[in-house]
Amino acid sequence: MMTGFILALAVAAAQATQASGDRLNYVVGPDDVLTVTVFNEPGLSGKFRVEHDGEFSYPFVGRVRAGGRTVQDVADLLKIRLADGYLRYPQVTVDVDQFRSQSVFVMGEVRTPGKYVLSGPVTLLDALATAGATTDEAGVEVLILHPKDPVAGSATLPDQRDAEVSTVSLREIQSGKLSRNVTIRDGDTIFVPKAERFFVVGWVRNAGSYVLERNMTVLQAISTAGGINERGSNRRLRVIRIVGNKRKEFDVKPTDLVEPGDTIVVRQRLL
């Protein structure tokens, strides 16, 4: 799991690396004020407020739909419209001068779950940090739910069928894959599930309960527990698993996958 301290470091690194990229990926909405700059064309440059219908009026080309598009998409659209009979090879940049407030929900295993009103480009780590970071019971994967038909003031639940769901591994972000620190959209719900766990007992260095990661093998699980000690055997591994409310025990290989709730038993080496 990612502690609050590590999460804070990741937030700082991600913000330093991705600030400009996040602004380009920011999804424009009503009441945002855009700054449009056209190289060598001061008459076409200026500030434009996006109206409630998601559009704004622009010289020569008329109404431009910006709502639901990223800042980069708006710039590309203006280039196409201006090149269509007005300018040759227009060079257009768009930035956000004033951000509208965005509402995001952060639920599950965070220290202060709830609804948060944020301004500007918001990344996954921004939202988690605002909610006080993940708890010690949090899993390493986070669900981001974007409702197709959002209900104002309501969070989206993981079992709702009318939502786009993406999964992000905090472990990947922690290891340096900052591209996984995705931009959160207005109305999104971030849900941090409780960690699924497994147990390792017997002749290992640190018997106990551990967080299960996706596609974890028996060998990886034992390594998480510090590995087999000098009196244990890697040839006599067993697992205790609840199947259909019944306790079952059977032999496993180091390459077998671990399931939630498994107890891996490392037996003593035969003399």
Sheet holding 101-108, edge to edge: 114-119, 101-108, 189-192, 141-147, 163-169
Average pLDDT of the residues in 17-44: 83
Q: How confident is the model at residue 220 (pLDDT cuts 50, 70, 90)?
A: very high
Say how far residue 261 (Cα) sits from the centre of its chain. Answer: 26
pLDDT category at 17 given cuts 50, 70, 90 is: very low
Contact assessment for residue 193 and residue 168, using Cβ atoms and an 8 Å cutoff: no
CA distance 115 to 118: 10
Termini Cα distance of the chain:
38
pLDDT band for position 42 (cuts 50, 70, 90): very high
Q: Tell me what pLDDT residue 48 has.
A: 97
Instruction: Give the rounded percent of residues in the chain with a pLDDT score beyond 90.
Output: 68
pTM greater than 0.85 (yes/no):
no
Q: Please determine, for residue 202, whether its predicted confidence score (pLDDT) is greater than 60.
A: yes
Q: Helix H segments across 49-200?
A: 71-83, 124-130, 170-174
What mean pLDDT do residues 206-230 have? 95
Q: What is the pLDDT of residue 58?
A: 97
Tokens of 191: 């849900």
**What is the chain's mean pLDDT, rounded?**
88
What pLDDT, on a 0 to 100 scale, did the predictor assign at position 103?
87
Tens-place pLDDT, residues 79-136: 999 999 899 999 999 999 998 877 899 999 999 999 998 888 889 999 999 999 999 8
DSSP string, 2-52: --HHHHHHHHHHHHHHHHHHHHHHPBP-TT-EEEEEETT-GGG-EEEE--T
pLDDT band at 9 (very low <50, low <70, confident <90, very high): very low
Describe the crossing of helices 4-25 and 71-83 by its angle, rounded to 10 degrees.
10
Structure tokens given for 91: 């060079």
Render pLDDT for 49-64 as a digit per residue (tens, 0 to 9): 999 999 999 999 999 9
What span, in angstroms and rounded, lies between the C-alpha atoms of 154 and 258?
A: 36
**Residue in 248, 252, 211, 215 with CA at minimum distance from that of residue 234:** 252
The pLDDT of residue 21? 59
Identify which of 1, 83, 3 has the alpha carbon closest to the alpha carbon of residue 44. 83
- The secondary element (H helix, E strand) that includes residue 219 is helix 218-224
**pLDDT over 70, % of the chain:** 89
Asked if residue 179 has pLDDT above 50, the reply is yes
> Average of pLDDT values for 257-266?
97
Q: Residue 218 pLDDT > 60, yes or no?
A: yes
- Does 16 have pLDDT greater than 50? no
User: Band of the pLDDT at 12, cuts 50, 70, 90?
Assistant: very low
- Amino acid of residue 258: V
- Map out the domains of the chain with their CATH numbers: 33-98 (3.30.1950.10), 100-192 (3.10.560.10), 197-268 (3.10.560.10)
List all residues 6 or more positions away from 135 whose beta carbon is below 8 Å from its beta carbon. Answer: 109, 110, 111
pLDDT value of position 1: 45
Residues in contact with 145: Cβ distance below 8 Å, sequence separation at least 6, in sequence order: 156, 157, 158, 160, 163, 164, 165, 188, 189, 190, 191
What residue type is 106 in one-letter code?
V
Q: What is the arithmetic mean of pLDDT over 227-247?
A: 93
